[in-house]
């Protein structure tokens, strides 16, 4: 809606994980480095935790994108599956051919054969599990058993668990204590600092095609940080609505007032969810823009 107004190719603050917008903050870069070192070292289990909206899925996608051609990646975005369904999902990701009514024993044999085949080609397999805090205990145990598969030198399958802090509590259960002991690398993904926020905004605007001077005033940045606490998803939501408010007024710069309007419109979103429409701001934008166009036509 406001892209041409601000000289952009696309909206810069969407919440869909897009690796072209990956921002190397100290937290995210350290987490990415941890993942790469662990994966190249052949570790069995790796764990990344972070609060809602801190960028775990984007980090996951950036990690898979950064791995070289000697890696094969599998991705499970919704692992709340019973063991057999989880193994079927992994087999599908690894392009394992199997009969519809295959039993679990034969499925494991087929997975083993595929992993051995890839190992013989000098390729490593990494399974990235998003929303890992939702995995049932029995399915976690199935994953642990898969990591028992190994050659004399390394594991045939490495598993990275991305989850909310509840994952830590999940792994304290006695039923999965063997898995918890196998997590050799872990990292907690935090939010952005006040200084990081300045660079984060500039980075996303630049990727979206912005070539002008400073778009967010210093006061706007302060207000944005105070409201978001550095959580990237909230930053994106409030920044988007702030730009919408400025666009509705025909302004070329976002100031503190626009951020306050955006925060007020976001206050009901207690769970950091993206609304279908920022109704108040959209209505104001349409009305204000219509008024501005009518005024110009009179002139």
Please check whether residues 43 and 185 belong to one and the same domain.
Answer: yes
Please check whether residues 138 and 220 belong to one and the same domain.
Answer: no
Alpha helices, DSSP H, located in 171-231? 177-181, 194-207, 218-228
* Domain count of the fold of the chain: 2
Question: What are 140-163's pLDDT values in tens digits?
Answer: 988 888 888 776 667 899 999 999
Q: What tokens appear for 159 in the block?
A: 């598993």
- In this structure, is residue 204 part of a structural domain? no
Asked if residue 293 has pLDDT above 80, the reply is no
The pTM (predicted TM-score) of the whole model is 0.86
Mean of pLDDT values over 227-236: 95
Please check whether residues 103 and 248 belong to one and the same domain.
Answer: no
- In this structure, is residue 98 part of a structural domain? yes
Q: Residue 51 belongs to what domain range?
A: 26-189
CATH number, domain containing residue 56: 3.40.50.300
Please check whether residues 249 and 147 belong to one and the same domain.
Answer: no
Please check whether residues 171 and 86 belong to one and the same domain.
Answer: yes
- In this structure, is residue 59 part of a structural domain? yes
Give the integer Cα–Cα distance in Å for 223 and 21.
Answer: 22
- In this structure, is residue 298 part of a structural domain? no
3 state SS of 160:
strand
pLDDT of residue 68: 87
Give the integer Cα–Cα distance in Å for 81 and 126.
Answer: 19
Closest CA to 76 of 34, 128, 119: 128
Please check whether residues 226 and 99 belong to one and the same domain.
Answer: no
Please check whether residues 38 and 184 belong to one and the same domain.
Answer: yes
């Amino acid at each position: 809606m406001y892209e041409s107004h601000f000289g952009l190719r696309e909206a810069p603050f969407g919440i869909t994980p897009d690796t072209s917008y990956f921002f190397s903050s100290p937290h995210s870069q350290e987490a990415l480095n941890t993942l790469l070192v662990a994966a190249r070292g052949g570790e069995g289990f790796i764990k990344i935790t972070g609060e809602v909206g801190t960028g775990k899925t984007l980090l996951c996608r950036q990690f898979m994108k950064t791995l070289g051609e000697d890696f094969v990646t599998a991705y499970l975005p919704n692992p709340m599956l019973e063991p057999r369904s989880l193994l079927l999902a992994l087999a599908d990701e690894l392009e394992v051919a199997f009969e519809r009514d295959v039993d679990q024993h034969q499925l494991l044999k087929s997975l083993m054969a595929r992993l051995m085949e890839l190992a013989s080609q000098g390729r490593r397999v990494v399974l990235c599990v998003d929303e890992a805090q939702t995995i049932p205990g029995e399915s976690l145990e199935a994953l642990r058993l898969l990591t028992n598969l190994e050659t004399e030198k390394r594991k045939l399958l490495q598993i990275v668990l991305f989850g909310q802090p509840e994952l830590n509590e999940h792994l304290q259960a006695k039923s999965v204590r063997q898995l918890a002991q196998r997590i050799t690398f872990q990292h907690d993904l935090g939010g952005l600092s006040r200084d990081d926020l300045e660079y984060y905004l500039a980075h996303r605007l630049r990727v979206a095609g912005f070539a002008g001077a400073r778009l967010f005033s210093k006061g706007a940045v302060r207000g944005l940080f105070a409201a978001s606490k550095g959580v990237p998803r909230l930053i994106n939501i409030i920044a988007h609505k702030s730009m919408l408010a400025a666009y509705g007024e025909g302004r070329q710069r976002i100031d503190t007032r626009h951020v306050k309007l955006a925060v007020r419109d976001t206050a009901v979103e207690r769970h950091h969810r993206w609304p279908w429409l920022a109704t108040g701001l959209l209505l104001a934008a349409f009305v204000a823009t219509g008024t501005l166009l009518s005024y110009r036509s009179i002139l």
